[in-house]
Every structure is written in C-alpha cells, then in structure tokens.
Amino acid sequence: MQILYFAWLRQRTGIAEETVSPPPEVTTVGGLMGWLATRGPGHAAAFANPGLIRAAVDQDICGPDRPLGSAREVAFFPPVTGG
C-alpha cells in the first residue's frame, strides 16, 4: 500500500511517500493512522493530532472510519489552504 504525505505531514515524517504493509488488524483509515504513528518519532509527531488530518483513499477524500478494503494508495494532508 502506497502512503502519500503532504504539507506538514510530509515535513514531520520527512518523506513524501512510502510503501507499507500494515498488519491485517488495520482495517480503517483511522486504524492506519494509529499504526503509521508507531513507525518512528517523525511519524508520531505527524499523527499526534488526528483531528487536524484529512485523508483520501485512492484519491477519494474520506473520514477515519473508511474501510481500507483493497486500497492501493492512501494520502494524508492538512485541510487545504489554496486560493
């Protein structure tokens, strides 16, 4: 599963993307966030406040309850600030 990080999530994790294989008990976007937070101090800092984080599964924006199913790509990012 490909994970993408944007803005301060990219900055805190120190990476723009990574390929991961979460264990079978990780079944939702929220569960994935908790599991990714354990991958190191940068990841822990990035996921310290899940309420500030938005996610998209296969480019479809979703909440933390979204089942991962056979997702190939999950992106994490802060609320957008363009325009």
Partner 1 sequence: MPAVSVQAEPFDVAAEMAQLAGSRTDIGAIASFIGLCRADDGLAGMTLEHWPGVTERAISAIVQDALARFPLTGCRVIHRYGPMRPGDGIVLVLAASAHRAAALEAVGFLMDWLKTKAPFWKREDFHDGSHRWVEAKADDDAAAARWTPG
Closest CA relative to residue 23, chosen from 13, 14, 36: 36
Region of 7 (left: φ > 0; alpha: ψ -120 to 50; beta: rest) is: left
Q: How far is the CB of 28 from partner 1 (least distance, A)?
A: 22
Choose the stretch contacting partner 1; rule: CB under 8 A; options: 3-11, 19-27, 28-36, 39-47.
3-11
In our burial notation (b when 16+ CB lie closer than 10 A, e otherwise), range 25-52 reads ebebbbbbbebbeeeeeebebbbeeeee
Q: Could you say which residues in the range 37-56 bind partner 1, by CB under 8 A?
A: 56
Rule CB under 8 A: say whether 81 interacts with partner 1: yes
Q: How far is the CB of 51 from partner 1 (least distance, A)?
A: 12
- The residue (of 27 and 59) whose beta carbon lies closer to partner 1 is 59
In the complex, the residues that contact partner 1 under the rule CB under 8 A are: 4, 6-8, 10-11, 56, 59, 75, 77-83
